[in-house]
Amino acid sequence: MGRKLLLQHINVPGIDTFEVYRQNGGYASVEKALKKMTPDEVVEEVKKSGLRGRGGAGFPTGMKWSFLAKPEGVPRYLVCNGDESEPGTFKDRFLMTYIPHLLIEGMITSSYALGANTSYIYLRGEMMPQIRILEKAIAEAKANGFLGKNILGSGYDLELYVQPGGGAYICGEETALLESLEGKRGNPRIKPPFPAIAGLYGCPTVVNNVESIAAVVPIVNDGGEEYAKIGIGRSTGTKLISAGGNLAKPGVYEIELGLPVEEFLYSDEYCGGIAGGKRLKAVVAGGSSVPILPANLFMKTIAGEGRLMSYESLAEGGFVSGTMMGSGGFIAFDEDACIVRNTWNFARFYHHESCGQCSPCREGTGWMEKVLHRLEHGHGSMSDMDLLVDVSKKIEGNTICPLGDAAAWPVASAIRHFRDEFEWHVSHASEAVTRNYGLAHYADPLPKPEPKPEATA
């Protein structure tokens, strides 16, 4: 049984209320930070922990905090990125729904560390239930002296606000989020300057993911060094995984980083294997923006080593034979899944969500969607695969924000690993409309049952 830091009390009745959360050790990190630690000491603990951003990029959180400019007389801001819009990712919404005070506590402790007296939680506009839950939790925290003026008699002031967005995936990019928060169209900004220098309202700003901020709570409570003992290598601590697709037990799981992927996928403690006893065909390990892997490359690296649920192990082999941890949006595809249809579906999403600011993304995502549409619907040609790869290369690295890369990587990797399936959609166009390609050499064989001992007389 893996250690739980964020979801330890998730099943406690009433844990979404201040009273029950407090009875289970809630807001202890705020008391410790404000009464016993300086802001710089809190930042140092986060550095020691090795915590990496849980929103997808995996950048060291403590290092990001240390970049924050501190000019005299200029306000600083902490903004929580709750604009969880990546297809396949729903762990932040789960955390905000069932244990909202954990995020509020993390916001207070983190804001203190950064010297922010006004902080914001930015949520995707469709998350109205979560917005109401968080506003209720903020009101409870304020009524009990954990927000507002002179928190716990420390002399530290903090006001915390929840701000809904307009429902745009692009606002998950931190500079587009800041534009939206300022009341403008959510277009990404050209960097530099980075938000740590000129962010919200032109002031120094840190933008962190929901899970990243929640993780500050156990880091401050237990110490950064203790947190760093969990996990493996530079992948320290625990990670929330949104497990979906063709799994026997989909849901949100908290794992210790370094867990073998085979254990996560097949053990009863986690996903319980593939639904219906079917075989695994492919996996998207970190949300729709990361490269898809066939089952054989997901289970083991090219060198034959079993993969682990860690940033380094999943990336082993680069984009030739590896993928990314990303935001933890884990999607499993069984033997009956159609890779072409899934790739087209992802391309539709990225075309729809492109802000249109950069022509490679604005035009290229539309071209990829059209080409994949005709492949899926029996009108493709053999040259379409090379055309898709060429378009993806024209998009990758040529846009202001990473949405272009996020649109290009799934298409390029799908063709790289499943080209035979794309070609089958062309050579068997009428058949592809009525049935899926099925399995090929990349299938993960089911474990063979152990032979039964022979009966003795």
Asked if residue 75 has pLDDT above 50, the reply is yes
Q: What does the pLDDT read at residue 457?
A: 38
In which band, very low, low, confident or very high, does the pLDDT at 1 lie, cut at 50, 70 and 90? low
201: left (phi over 0), alpha (psi -120 to 50) or beta: left
Tens digits of residue pLDDT in 17-31? 999 999 999 999 999
Q: What does the pLDDT read at residue 349?
A: 96
Helix axes 100-114, 28-36, angle to 10 degrees: 10
Interior/surface letters 241-253, b for 16+ CB within 10 angstroms, e for the rest: bbbbbbbbebebb
Question: What's the mean pLDDT in 49-62?
Answer: 92
Q: What does the pLDDT read at residue 449?
A: 44
Amino acid identity of residue 366, one-letter, is: G
**CB 127 within 8 Å of CB 42:** no
In which band, very low, low, confident or very high, does the pLDDT at 455 lie, cut at 50, 70 and 90? very low
As given in the structure block, the two tokens for residue 103 are 């995020």
Q: How far apart are CA 436 and CA 199, in angstroms?
A: 48
Q: What does the pLDDT read at residue 56?
A: 84
**CB 423 within 8 Å of CB 439:** no
Question: What's the mean pLDDT in 124-129?
Answer: 92
Question: What's the mean pLDDT in 188-216?
Answer: 97
Question: What's the mean pLDDT in 418-447?
Answer: 81
Interior/surface letters 383-395, b for 16+ CB within 10 angstroms, e for the rest: ebbeebbebbeeb
- Mean pLDDT for the chain? 94
As given in the structure block, the two tokens for residue 428 are 């068997």
Nearest CA to 244 out of 295, 289, 286, 299 is that of 286
50: left (phi over 0), alpha (psi -120 to 50) or beta: left
In which band, very low, low, confident or very high, does the pLDDT at 434 lie, cut at 50, 70 and 90? confident
As given in the structure block, the two tokens for residue 47 are 């550095």
Nearest CA to 351 out of 271, 408, 272 is that of 408
Q: What does the pLDDT read at residue 245?
A: 96
Question: What's the mean pLDDT in 5-21?
Answer: 97
Nearest CA to 289 out of 185, 396, 122, 405 is that of 405
Question: What's the mean pLDDT in 35-52?
Answer: 97
Burial of 368 (0-12, 13-18, 19+ CB in 10 A): buried
Nearest CA to 402 out of 9, 35, 55 is that of 55
Q: How far apart are CA 354 and CA 331, in angstroms?
A: 23
Q: How far apart are CA 410 and CA 421, in angstroms?
A: 15
In which band, very low, low, confident or very high, does the pLDDT at 166 lie, cut at 50, 70 and 90? confident
Write down the pTM of the prediction: 0.93
In which band, very low, low, confident or very high, does the pLDDT at 2 lie, cut at 50, 70 and 90? confident
In which band, very low, low, confident or very high, does the pLDDT at 259 lie, cut at 50, 70 and 90? very high
Q: How far apart are CA 236 and CA 227, in angstroms?
A: 7
Q: What does the pLDDT read at residue 456?
A: 46
In which band, very low, low, confident or very high, does the pLDDT at 279 lie, cut at 50, 70 and 90? very high
Interior/surface letters 76-101, b for 16+ CB within 10 angstroms, e for the rest: bbbbbbbbbbbbbbbbbbbbbebbbb
Question: What's the mean pLDDT in 69-77?
Answer: 95
Q: What does the pLDDT read at residue 321?
A: 93
Asked if residue 368 has pLDDT above 50, the reply is yes
**CB 236 within 8 Å of CB 49:** yes
Question: What's the mean pLDDT in 358-372?
Answer: 97
In which band, very low, low, confident or very high, does the pLDDT at 132 lie, cut at 50, 70 and 90? very high
As given in the structure block, the two tokens for residue 250 are 């989909």
Question: What's the mean pLDDT in 258-265?
Answer: 96
Q: How far apart are CA 115 and CA 322, in angstroms?
A: 39
Percent of the chain with pLDDT over 70: 96
As given in the structure block, the two tokens for residue 77 are 């801001």
Q: What does the pLDDT read at residue 454?
A: 52
Question: What's the mean pLDDT in 257-283?
Answer: 95
**CB 125 within 8 Å of CB 83:** no
**CB 88 within 8 Å of CB 287:** yes
Beta strands 238-245 and 77-82, pairing class: unpaired
Determine the distance from the C-alpha atom of residue 444 to the mean position of all C-alpha atoms in its chain, rounded to a whole number: 25
Burial of 363 (0-12, 13-18, 19+ CB in 10 A): middle
Tens digits of residue pLDDT in 78-120? 999 999 999 999 999 999 999 999 999 999 999 999 999 999 9
